[in-house]
Amino acid sequence: MATGFELDRRIEAGTAHVTDWPLCQLRLKDDARFPWLLLVPRLVGASEFTDLSAGDYEQCMAELLAGTRVMMEAVRPDKINVAMFGNIVPQMHLHVIGRFRSDAAWPGAVFAAGDGPEYAAEAKAELVKKLANAAARLRP
């Protein structure tokens, strides 16, 4: 499955590694406004759900559900937002975002809110650790 997989540099640039699950790499988007996970299936050339084998799709959806749980446990948001676009970076990546009624874009979509400030180094390390701990417990 992972043969030849390389993380797209545009995804890598704005995110930090959290952990690897059986199919996806989990990464934290470096936007201090929103707790925001990316799930990147370690597959070559996958862009649409229909590109996945039945087994990979099933695992991807199990990891999406588990990613929702990780976000809920780690940051206790008011709502989870989920999305997959790929209009700019075709390498498949799923967004799992914890939203708060008090956040900078509520109730709008974060995708309409432009780029935000990066985390301070310490805050980022702390959140990555919290997410990684939840991800280890909830690994699907």
CB 35 within 8 A of CB 123: no
* 140 scored as a contact of its own copies (CB under 8 A): no
Spatial separation of the C-alpha atoms in residues 126 and 74, rounded to whole Å: 11
* 45 scored as a contact of its own copies (CB under 8 A): no
H/E element, 26: strand 24-29
The structure tokens 């985390």 sit at: 119
Among 53, 111, 118, 125, binds its own copies (CB under 8 A): 111
Closer to its own copies by CB, 88 or 121: give it.
88
Pairing of strands 15-20, 94-99: unpaired
**Integer angstrom CA distances of residue 109 from 15, 77, 123:** 19, 15, 24
Closer to its own copies by CB, 69 or 130: give it.
69
Alpha-carbon dihedral angle through residues 14, 131, 60, 7, given to the nearest 10 degrees: 30
From residue 56 to residue 95, what is the string marking binding to its own copies with x (rule CB under 8 A)? -xx--x--xx--xx--x------xxxxxxxxxx-------
Closer to its own copies by CB, 58 or 126: give it.
58
Q: How far is the CB of 26 from its own copies (least distance, A)?
A: 16
Closer to its own copies by CB, 12 or 73: give it.
73
Closer to its own copies by CB, 51 or 126: give it.
51
CB 63 within 8 A of CB 21: yes
Q: Enumerate binding residues for its own copies (CB under 8 A).
A: 47-50, 57-58, 61, 64-65, 68-69, 72, 79-88, 99, 106-109, 111-112
